[in-house]
Amino acid sequence: MNSMDRMAAVAATEFRLAFRNRWVLLSTLAFTLFALALAFLGSGPSGALKADALTLTAASLSTLTVYLVPLMALLVSYDSIAGEIERGTLALVLATPLKRGELVVAKFLGHLAVLAMAIAIGYGIAGAVIAGVHGADDAGLVAWGRLLVTAVLLGAVFIALGMALSSLPRQAGTAAALAIGAWLILVVLYDLALLGAVIVDQGGMFTKTVFPALVLANPGDAFRLYNLALIEANAPIAGLDGLARTLPFPVSSAFVVLVLWLFAGLAVAWALTRRIRP
Amino acid sequence: MTDAILTVEELTIRFGAVTALDGVSLSVAPGERVALLGHNGAGKSTLFKTVLGFLQPAGGRLSIVDAAPGSNVARRAVSYLPEQVVFPKALTGAEVLTHFARLKGVAPKAALPLLEVVGIADAAGRAVGTYSKGMRQRLCLAQALIGTPRLLLLDEPTSGLDPISRREFYTVLEASARAGTAVLLSSHSLSEIENRIDRIAILAKGQLRAEGSLADLSRGAGLPIRIHVEAAEGRVEAVHAHLGGERVNGRSVVLTCRAEDKVGALTSLAALGSDVTDIDIALPDLDDVYRHYSVPIVEGAAQ
Ligand SMILES: Nc1ncnc2c1ncn2[C@@H]1O[C@H](COP(=O)(O)OP(=O)(O)OP(=O)(O)O)[C@@H](O)[C@H]1O
Ligand SMILES: [Mg+2]
């Protein structure tokens, strides 16, 4: 039971600190504004298409989420271990009965609580506004709820990755650089590289077999595929997202990929923190 | 000693080619205050980190309440004040203390009065970012005192404290020791810990150079005591003839003697009766004693 209390203490302090960090508040605000802007831009023509506004916006919001949620998750977590080494508090914390595994899990939970709150606020406000203006049907509410839950899962993946990267260097600055690099590679460059490969391949073997698996292997793409494939709307989708209609795997595999990323990230973070000499 | 809280035997710690600790043996008993002195890089912080279980010995053994460093039993017994720590600026002093109390399994209510003990109760609700250096150091001490630990490891606890705060610090420490806590602290100044510490260990270049009470160390250093004798008007020759020593400025004689000869010298002084008008005894300066043990080997290494 002591273990639970220790972890609760760490998680509560992380939550409190992230909450008082103006960057977290600012990014929540930015996220909400983006979601609202998309809601109005995306729901404008919905009356004409006779599709539910919530459903349509969910599709465009999933793309926004792939960029913003990983960024916010890394912002919350990059400092978590390296920063404590640098400030000397890790030595102090590890001198108490707190175990390293407990530290990793508790910090993760504290960060996740902050991020889940930010996502819920952003999606909540945008969803309420759309539903208030255009009304909402059941399918729309389900799509919205699914988007919210999987966005939190995507955030959890990147918090775990951020913590793993934070366990490598001894300086918070280096950890920040690693986090930015991870975001660029996983969220931006990965998709560009795949698109380039598809163009070069011109519908050959790569496009038919390897490409879908590679798309699915990326947490951001898995998140987007999962949501788009389940959204019953003929919203125009382009690029990699076209795969959502022709995915050669069951849709649930995208969800499984996210969960696997989460556990892999946490396991790596835990293994790396075990090697740290504070 | 089996009842010691901390036992270190022949401990060797290496960082690659650097030997930070070289065959160090030391023990601290309940209620005992031991000071670790040594030049920069002598290995003081390394010893603390090894006791906490952060570093793996290349040789030797150490145990905390008969348990291995870093084990659950050891962690529950030990409290640490690191050399350098910056608490999150956005937390208040009370929040920092509550956090560590919960990590140590102590009710926050029982820990918060420690802010009073270290004299920062007024600032308990303020963000740590607004604290002065001394206040942060006091908060760190309060953190270390949570839950009456059996072993206190304090790495340069008085750095950044003004002289009055230092005295208060040693008063708090004395209360802890009286309650049975074993204290191991590091410091750079012998004069600061005079009369406030039971035993002193001097490290130089990773080796234990000397260990004992301050009096033991002074005696062992063999540094001379100077007795300044002022003679009555016109009696300085007689005094000098009787005592020997060195004549200075017309009316005075200066004797230098070893610590064990002090009483003999004073006895022969007493025999001079009214020929002597004043006596001043200068014991060896504590920093001289410290230098005696730690400097030669450092200079030797520098060559
Ligand atoms: N992580 C490390 N890697 C390599 N060398 C180290 C490491 N930590 C300490 N050392 C070396 O070990 C030696 C002892 O260092 P330590 O920090 O224990 O000294 P100290 O007595 O605490 O000095 P100070 O009074 O300056 O705090 C030094 O030579 C130092 O360079
Ligand atoms: Mg040190």
Q: What is the pLDDT of residues A89-109, one digit of tens each?
A: 999 999 999 999 999 999 999
Whether the CB of B76 is below 8 Å from some CB of chain A: the reply is yes
Q: Which whole number is the average pLDDT over A203-216?
A: 84
Q: For ligand 2, a single-atom ion, which residues have Cβ within 5 Å?
A: B 44-45, 83
Taking the Cβ of residue A89 and every Cβ of chain B, the question of whether any pair is shorter than 8 Å is answered with: yes
B214 pLDDT above the threshold of 80: yes
Cα distance between residue A102 and residue A108, in whole Å: 10
**Tens-digit pLDDT profile for residues B146-158:** 999 999 999 999 9
- Residue in A21, A92, A97 nearest the CB of B82: A92
Residue A88, chain B, CB below 8 Å: the answer is yes
Asked whether A185 and A161 are in contact (CB, 8 A), the reply is no
Task: Determine which of A213-227, A234-248, B129-143 has the lowest per-residue pLDDT on average.
Answer: A234-248
Distance of alpha carbon B62 from alpha carbon B50, whole angstroms? 9
Do the Cβ atoms of A107 and A99 come closer than 8 Å? no
* Edge-to-edge strand ranges of the sheet holding B246-248: B246-248, B252-257, B225-231, B276-282
Answer yes or no: do B103 and A97 touch at CB < 8 A: yes
Tell me how far apart the alpha carbons of residues A111 and A81 are, in angstroms, rounded to a whole number: 13
Q: Indicate the pairing of strand B246-248 with strand B252-257.
A: antiparallel
Q: Is the CB of residue B206 less than 8 Å from the CB of residue B11?
A: no
Instruction: Give percent helix, percent strand, percent coil of chain B, each to the nearest 5.
Output: 40, 30, 30
Task: pLDDT band for B302, please (50, 70, 90 cuts).
Answer: very low
Predicted confidence (pLDDT) at residue A254 exceeds the cutoff of 60: yes
So what's the pLDDT on residue B197?
A: 92
pLDDT per residue as tens digits for the range A154-193: 999 999 999 999 999 999 999 999 999 999 999 999 989 9
Q: What pLDDT, on a 0 to 100 scale, did the predictor assign at position A244? A: 67
Which A residues in the span 107-126 are in contact with B, Cβ-Cβ below 8 Å? none
Contacts with A, B 213-252, CB within 8 Å? none
Q: What is the pLDDT at residue B144?
A: 96
Which pLDDT value is given to residue B272? 83
pLDDT score at B303: 37
Contact A155, A73 (CB under 8 A): yes
Are the CB atoms for B284 and B213 separated by under 8 Å? no
Query: Across chain A, what does the average pLDDT equal?
Result: 87
Report pLDDT for A40.
Answer: 76
A263-278 pLDDT, tens digit each: 999 999 999 999 999 8
CB-CB under 8 Å, B104 with A96:
yes
* Confidence (pLDDT) at B300: 47
Check if the beta carbon of residue B216 is closer than 8 Å to that of residue B242: no
**B86 HSE (CA, 13 A, CB side):** 9
Q: Which residue has the higher pLDDT, A247 or A10?
A: A10
Give the number of the atom of ligand 1 that is nearest the alpha carbon of residue B39: 25
Q: Please indicate whether residue A83 or residue B291 has the higher confidence score (pLDDT).
A: A83
pLDDT at B261: 84
CB atoms within 10 A of CB B190: 24
Residue A98: predicted pLDDT:
96
Q: Give pLDDT, residue A268.
A: 97
What pLDDT is recorded for position B105?
94
A85 vs chain B: nearest CA distance in angstroms?
Answer: 9
| A277 Cα to chain B: minimum distance (Å) | 6
- % of chain B beyond a pLDDT of 70: 97
pLDDT in tens, B59-111: 999 999 999 999 999 999 999 999 999 999 999 999 999 999 999 999 999 99
Backbone phi, then psi, for A72, in 5-degree steps? -65, -40
Contact A35, A123 (CB under 8 A): yes
Residue range B259-290, pLDDT digits in tens: 778 888 888 888 888 888 888 888 777 788 88
- Indicate if ipTM > 0.90: no
Distance B85 CA to ligand 2 centre (A): 12
Residue B301: pLDDT band with limits 50, 70, 90: very low
Contact yes or no for A131/A47 (Cβ under 8 A): no
A83-97, A230-244, B29-43: segment of lowest average pLDDT: A230-244
Neighbour count for residue A133 (Cβ, 10 Å):
12
Beta bridge partners of B229: B253, B279
Average pLDDT over residues B184-190: 90
- The Å distance, Cα B121 to ligand 2 centre, comes to 29
Report the alpha-carbon distance of residue A56 to residue A54 in Å, rounded.
5
Q: Give the 3-state secondary structure of residue A219.
A: helix
Name the residue with higher pLDDT: A110 or B244: A110
